[in-house]
Every structure is written in structure tokens, then in C-alpha cells.
């Protein structure tokens, strides 16, 4: 029993270390730094490289959205749109409701509107429609205060 437990712990440790050693976390961070700090010809290629990481990049993009300048936040939203993953929808919903800059809120809402217009049976479409409904409810509740 003890050997089995040690084997399981060893397996988990190996898997954890392997996932940390692939370097993608650092590489994703490098691309995010370009998107949040630059507004030049380096941005589009960095966005493409970041989008290639797909869903794996979403948590780091979400974190960066909290501290980036408005232009950087717009670049990060563009990256989320290019990634196109349903996991981005809660992030977009949050930005659409709470960002301090109207242009950033509008950009997040525009992505959700595009995704909501997709195939009705697609999970991303259903989630985007739900996010739009949540945004409308939260704004109505704020007006009613």
C-alpha cells in the first residue's frame, strides 16, 4: 500500500515538473509583454504567436488584463479573439462590465457579439449569448440602484 502511494506521488511529481519545464509559461509571458508594452510592428506577430498557444494562454492573458494600459488591454482582447476559445468568455464578460475605459468594454462586447452570432448549437455561441445576457442584467441592476 505504501509503495503504491509513493508511486502515485512520484508520478504526479513527474507530471508536474514536466508541465513546468516545457517553457510555454515563460514564452506566453514574453508575448504578453510585447502586446502590453508596444504598439508597433512587433504586435501582430506576437499576437499570432500567442494565439498559437490557444487555451493555454488564456489564464495569463486574464492576469495581464488587470494591470495593462488601455492599448495593451485592447491588444490582449484581440489575442483572445484570435484564440477563439470558449474559456475566454468569462474574461470578456468581466471586461465588458467592469473595465474603466469605454473603448475596452466595447471591444470585449464586440467580440462576444461576433461569437454570439455563430452557429446556434455551438458551445461558444451559447456561452457568448449567456454572457451578453449577464452583461445586460448587471447593467440594468446598476441603473436601478
- Residue written as cell 513546468? 20
Q: At what angle do helices 70-83 and 89-98 cross, to 10 degrees?
A: 150
The pLDDT > 70 percentage for the chain reads: 86
Dist. CA 98–CA 118, nearest whole Å: 25
Q: What is the mean pLDDT of the chain?
A: 90
pTM (two decimals)? 0.83
Closest of 34, 104, 102, 91 to residue 63, by C-alpha: 91
* pLDDT for position 120: 86
Dist. CA 61–CA 55, nearest whole Å: 10
C-alpha cell at 29: 509571458
The 10s digit of each residue's pLDDT in 44-54 is: 999 999 999 99
Q: Is CATH 1.25.40 correct for 24-143?
A: yes
* pLDDT for position 145: 85
Q: Cβ–Cβ contacts within 10 Å for residue 16, how many?
A: 10
The 10s digit of each residue's pLDDT in 10-36 is: 555 555 545 545 789 999 999 999 999
Dist. CA 94–CA 59, nearest whole Å: 14
The pLDDT > 90 percentage for the chain reads: 79
Amino acid at each position: 500500500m505504501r509503495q503504491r502511494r509513493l508511486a502515485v506521488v512520484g508520478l504526479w511529481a513527474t507530471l508536474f515538473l514536466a508541465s513546468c519545464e516545457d517553457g510555454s509559461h515563460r514564452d506566453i509571458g514574453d508575448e504578453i509583454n510585447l502586446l502590453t508594452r508596444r504598439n508597433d510592428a512587433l504586435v501582430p506577430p506576437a499576437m499570432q504567436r500567442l494565439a498559437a498557444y490557444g487555451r493555454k494562454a488564456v489564464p495569463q492573458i486574464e492576469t495581464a488584463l488587470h494591470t495593462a494600459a488601455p492599448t495593451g488591454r485592447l491588444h490582449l482582447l484581440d489575442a483572445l479573439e484570435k484564440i477563439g476559445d470558449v474559456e475566454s468568455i468569462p474574461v470578456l464578460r468581466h471586461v465588458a462590465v467592469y473595465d474603466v475605459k469605454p473603448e475596452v468594454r466595447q471591444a470585449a462586447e464586440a467580440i462576444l457579439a461576433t461569437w454570439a452570432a455563430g452557429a446556434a448549437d455551438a458551445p461558444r455561441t451559447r456561452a457568448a449569448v449567456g454572457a451578453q445576457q449577464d452583461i445586460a442584467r448587471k447593467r440594468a441592476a446598476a441603473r436601478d440602484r
